[in-house]
Amino acid sequence: MKRHFYHLLACALFAFVGVAVHAQPVVTVDAAHLGAPVSPRLYGIFFEEINHAGDGGLYAELVQNRSFEDDDQQPAHWNALGGARAELTTSGLLNDRQAHALRLAVPSAFGGVQNEGYWGMAFRQQTTYTFSAWIKADTAYKGEMIVALNGRDGRNLGQTSVPLKLKAGKWTKVEDVKILATGTDPEGCMTLTFGAPGTFTLDVVSLFPPTYKGRPNGCRIDLAELLEALHPKFMRFPGGCYVEGQTTQRNNLHNRFEWKNTVGPIEQRPGHLSVNWGYNITDGFGYHEMLQLSEDLGAEPLFVVNVGIGHGWLQPYDQIEEYIQEALDAIEYANGDAKTTKWGAERAKNGHPEPFNLRLLEVGNENANFYFDNNRDQSDHYFERYIQFYKAIKAKYPDVQIIGNVESWGTDEPSWRSEHPVDILDEHYYRSPSWFENNFTKYDTYDRNGPKIYIGEYAVTQGFGINGHLTAALGEAVYMQGLERNSDIVIMGSYAPIFVNEHNPAWRPDMIRFNASESFGTPSYQVQKLMANNIGTRIVPVSVTANMLAASIGHHVGFSTWGTKAEFRNLEVVDKDGNVILKDDFAAENDHWRTFGGEADARRRTQSQWAFEGGVLKQQNQRAEGSVILNTTVLPDEYTVRAQGRRLEGNEGFIVVFGAEDGQNLLWWNLGGWGNGQHAVEHMADGGKNTLAAAQGHLEEGRWYNVEIQVKGTSARCLLDGQLIHEITLPERQSLYANATFDEKTNEMIVKLVNPTRERQTTRIHLNGATATQGRAIVLASANGSDENSMRAQLNVSPEEYPVRISEPSSTIVYNVQPFSLTILRLKTK
């Protein structure tokens, strides 16, 4: 009973007990002076085959390893049934594009094989599935093959018997076999059994559900519809690092994307290993299908071509004619006349006589970084490569706009370091929520006479929670406001990556998560949809006043770790007069500490293992990332914390926490972070992290270090073994961000407001030169910035719509902007 009472008291110590008083923000929308047109291509999507985004995801094929190429030694994802023996064969193959097939010896009736799909196959009652396969028998065979859908528990969920008449040693295609599901299972499997004994060879075994817009070899409906809801104006594909490939002993250069291997009948597509992302690709969702999906979504295709560079390999820059021709042929495939061009005729043969109208082509992916004299960062002689592509493409297709690469990391100010002409530059940013907030005005000063800008890849990848929380999404929303207000120069933008199969998260976060049967959008997806679906035709100047919050920090100290076992001892905190106000020798566990779970704890469902033992505080779980333990003592505004820490096992050092309010709002000194190569002070606000100061640094394993942090208000000095490493001052924070566009078609003023703070903002909105007659508000908000969506709570953070009450036409509206929110006001004006 006593312990329960103290828990309540400890919680109270960490409660938010008041709201800072500040002026009400004033948003002035200058409707009398409309600006430049909004870019008609501003918001699009970027598809890359990563995280099983295509195979096992958007590409609707249910059979995994349908052509038996995933493993050289065994038929991965296939299991023999009924005493049958299944093994790979490399002889007597279907064609020279296939390297393996499955040889299946069936000793008695109803033996066969089973395929598990991509972590299960989702079957829905009263849905029809379409089966096809290539098959041959060693000797003449006349009998049945049963194609069955089964549940996880072995239940039969529908089957079809296929009569076979096979000539000895001759391949026969079994196609357009329909199976009606009689039940539902989110993680089923498919079985093939034979009504009589025999020895068979199988290849390209396929099972499709209904597809988006009924396209053959098409897309999974729910995932494609999530893309459709974004109303993308363009679609960039196929990558990404996926375009470049990575050299291996297995297949050297040939794991890059080569579009000619991805068109035509699926049995003519050899597939390839994506070394970059670690799995085999069928290439079923190939160049043609990507063009087709772009068209079906109403998006312009944007194709990224390889310039003879990859990860760990290169073709000399003066020997890249085949790569240039590959790009020219790709344009001809997309745009060429069906009767007079080779590749236009091939497109028509593949089911699309009319051109796809490809007008956007990117020369390389992240290939203009720093080492142009070698390939250390995939940049070898990029500009010499680029100009060869530019001249060849412009000579034949002058209307195609060419997109060039600039630095993709290592700088916040990428630039075109060449005199060569370029239409559009592609900038990439993976940063923290506060970085995106701080770059709201980044493009205000860009040269309007220079190349146009495409933000080809961007996302919060630091301090995003588990799947991607609301604070991360709001940081992105602020940045997107900056793109909108500058869409005369920033003409395109696309979040990256889009998709992740929850069983293969090679990259986090991603805006659409899915498994075999379900899918949902993260808060970042909701932001992308709301911003893209609520944009006008003209930029409107906006100014905001009284929207700054004074910096403030909490009053608790503690410790944390990141992927490392560590120990701490001899904690002491003194006030400005040197009086000891907190001291702990960690001789035994006590009630003055509270633990907040970290990212790895939540993601991997592990527990942080803080223990008080032998005069030290230990974090015993090397997998814990960001698990914070805080002392409940409330400290004054000015104090000095001293402690000792050491790293024991793992890749990083240890973390001392100060200025903490709770596990989501704090400052910490990360010592030996980033692979034990850097010390940095990081600020976490509502779960989003920002680096305030950084310096190179390394911690020896097993050595005790003396840490001292001198806190004075919102400033701090950080000393390691008596040496000053950092001095920081927490900056003010903007409480409200605003931009506006005007929709000339609907006569609506669209005002977008982002409040990334925990405080409600009572805001006065002035329309200069217009009056509002009616309106509505679309609001994405949640109680906490750390709130997320998940498979169990798919709409936990989702938008709602409200009327904006305007009793009579007015040029001034008072609106309460919710904490942690994106608000879109659509105001009818006159």
HEC string of 682-732?
EEEECCEEEEEEEEECCCCECCCEEEEEEEECCEEEEEECCEEEEEEECCC
Q: DSSP state, 211? A: B
Torsion of CA 285, 289, 295, 299, to 10 degrees: 40
Q: One-letter amino acid identity for 473? A: A
The sign of the CA dihedral 59, 64, 66, 69 is: positive
Q: How many residues does the chain have?
A: 830
Distance CA 607, CA 627 (A): 9
Q: In angstroms, how far is the first alpha carbon of the chain from the final one? A: 65
Rounded Cα distance, 467 and 228, in Å: 22
Nearest to 496 by CA among 483, 487, 506, 509: 509
Name the token pair of 383: 């500009």
Task: Please name the residues in contact with 155: beta carbons below 8 A apart, sequence gap of 6 or more.
Answer: 183, 185
Q: Which amino acid is at 148?
A: A
Cβ-Cβ contacts under 8 Å for 445 (sequence gap 6 or more): none
Q: Among candidates 772, 788, 792, which has minimal Cα distance to 820?
A: 788
Rounded-to-integer distance, Cα 143 and Cα 123, Å = 27
For the record, the structure tokens of 617 come out as 């505080």
| CA proximity to 331, closest of 351, 352, 303 | 303
DSSP structure class, residue 246: B
Q: Which of 149, 112, 145, 133 is nearest to 68 (CA)?
A: 133
The closest alpha carbon to 497, from 277, 732, 176, belongs to 277
The neighbouring-strand residues paired with 89 are 101
Residue tagged active-site, from 366, 427, 502, 599: 366
- Rounded distance, CA 458 to CA 104, Å? 48
CB-based burial, 437-451: b 16+ in 10 Å, e otherwise: bbbbebbeeeeeeeb
Q: Write the CB contacts of 627 (distance below 8 Å, at least 6 apart in sequence).
A: 560, 561, 595, 596, 597, 598, 600, 601, 608, 610, 619, 621
Do 432 and 682 form a contact (C-beta atoms < 8 A)?
no
Residue 625 is a catalytic residue: no
Number of neighbouring beta carbons within 10 Å of residue 192: 27
**What is the rounded distance in angstroms from the CA atom of residue 656 to the CA atom of residue 566?**
11
Retrieve residue 743's tokens: 């929709």
Catalytic residue numbers? 366
